[in-house]
Amino acid sequence: MSITSHLPRHPIAFLPTPLHPASRLSARLTNDVGRAPIQLWLKRDDQTGLATGGNKTRKLEFLVADALAQGCDTLITTGAVQSNHCRQTAAAAALAGLACELVLAGQPTDPPTGNYLLDLLFGARCHWTTRANRLNRLNELAAELRAAGRRPYLITYGGSDPVGACGYALALEELHEQVHALDITPDLIVVPSSSGGTQAGLVAGAYALGWDVPILGISIDEPEAKLQAAVAELATRTAGRLGKPHTFAAADILVSDAFLGGGYGVMGDLEREAIRLMARTEGILLDPVYTGRAFGGLLELLRRPGALARFGIADAHTIIFWHTGGSPALFAYAGELIS
């Protein structure tokens, strides 16, 4: 029986997503690092199927189910202009027959491009604010909708609450079955981590399954200690929802904040190299905000002798990189990618 079978779920994603052996990239990394062979696998959650795919689709299966169970008629959430989470929420709302209201931090682009264009195509109504004010505006909007007789379901930033994180406990179970079928033993799982829901779900899922595998989050925008604490707290709450109570300490959570660069959504040389390398060896697209930064961070960790030791990892030969999607955002960064 699945670790989430007792929880309401609204099927949306195309599952299981592939576990793809990145053969050409593995050979390139082995040559660059100059040590024992590296076998890199890609968990292709860019292939979840909804609105060009992405990790948030797994969370939305549980969040939409909860919204429908409560009789809600509108999904509301928040993110940046090029938010993958907002794009997938808008699509999930359309698929479930719900309205969608998005609080976006920044300014609308003219013409709309990338994820923002897709938000509009899926019929979402967009509200604009600052990054610092987005959660306040989200709560204000929920109150406004209720006053107008609507029944909104508020989804926090990134869908990162115990309901949404259960999607990644189930994803970890899916991966466990795949590695068993392929007879591989990963030394390390690497995932982009920002709002923390994806990493927290993976951590809680690994505990529920009794799978002792290192799960390293490459921070996209948060200081290490802050993200560790947030993921530990959310993983604890998620484990409880799974019926496998456990209290995680911040020290249990593996996070690197060494690759924050110029800040959230600011693409630098690290992200450009990672995106181009993946595209030109595997024909796979990373995004400029999450997977580009996280994969660039992984490249740097592999190139620095002993860099993984601080996470208790003596060496890593078989590595799974969790591709969380986000390719529509590439079109908003064209001038920075091709120059």
Closest by CA position to 333, among listed 272, 262, 260, 249: 272
For residue 334, count other CB atoms closer than 10 A to its CB. Answer: 11
Q: Which residues are catalytic?
A: 83
List, as one string, the DSSP characters of 302-334. Answer: HHSTTGGGGGT-S--SEEEEEE---GGGGGGGH
Q: Is residue 198 over pLDDT 80? A: yes
Higher pLDDT, 131 or 19: 19
Q: Is residue 83 over pLDDT 90? A: yes
pLDDT value of position 148:
97
Pairwise CA distance, residues 265 & 52, whole Å: 20
- In this prediction, residue 1 has a pLDDT band, given cuts at 50, 70 and 90, of confident
- In this prediction, residue 33 has a pLDDT band, given cuts at 50, 70 and 90, of confident
pLDDT value of position 36:
75
| Confidence (pTM) | 0.97
User: What is the edge-to-edge ordering of all strands in the sheet holding 188-193?
Assistant: 19-21, 39-44, 318-323, 188-193, 215-219, 254-256
Identical topology for domains 19-54+161-337 and 68-158: yes
Question: What stretch of H or E contains 96?
Answer: helix 84-96
The pLDDT tens digits for 260-309 are 999 999 999 999 999 999 999 999 999 999 999 999 999 999 999 899 99
Domain boundaries along the sequence of the chain: 19-54+161-337, 68-158
What distance, in Å, lies between the first and last C-alpha atoms of the chain?
52
**Kind of pairing between the strands at 152-154 and 188-193:** unpaired
DSSP reduced 3-state for 5: coil
> Position 276: which residue type?
R
Q: Is residue 138 over pLDDT 90? A: yes
Pairwise CA distance, residues 42 & 158, whole Å: 22
Where do the DSSP E strands lie in 240-324?
254-256, 318-323
Percentage of residues in the chain having pLDDT higher than 90:
93
pLDDT value of position 32:
82
Closest by CA position to 15, among listed 51, 41, 53, 42: 53
Pairwise CA distance, residues 185 & 207, whole Å: 17
The pLDDT tens digits for 147-176 are 999 999 999 989 999 999 999 999 999 999
Class (C level, CATH) for 68-158: alpha beta
Contact (Cβ atoms closer than 8 angstroms) between residue 104 and residue 128:
yes
Q: Is residue 105 over pLDDT 90? A: yes
pLDDT value of position 248:
98
Q: Is the peptide bond before 112 cis (omega within 30 degrees of 0)?
A: no
**Beta-ladder partners of 191:** 217
Contact (Cβ atoms closer than 8 angstroms) between residue 100 and residue 129:
no
Q: Is residue 34 over pLDDT 80? A: no
The token pair at 336 is 């920075």
Class (C level, CATH) for 19-54+161-337: alpha beta
pLDDT value of position 147:
98
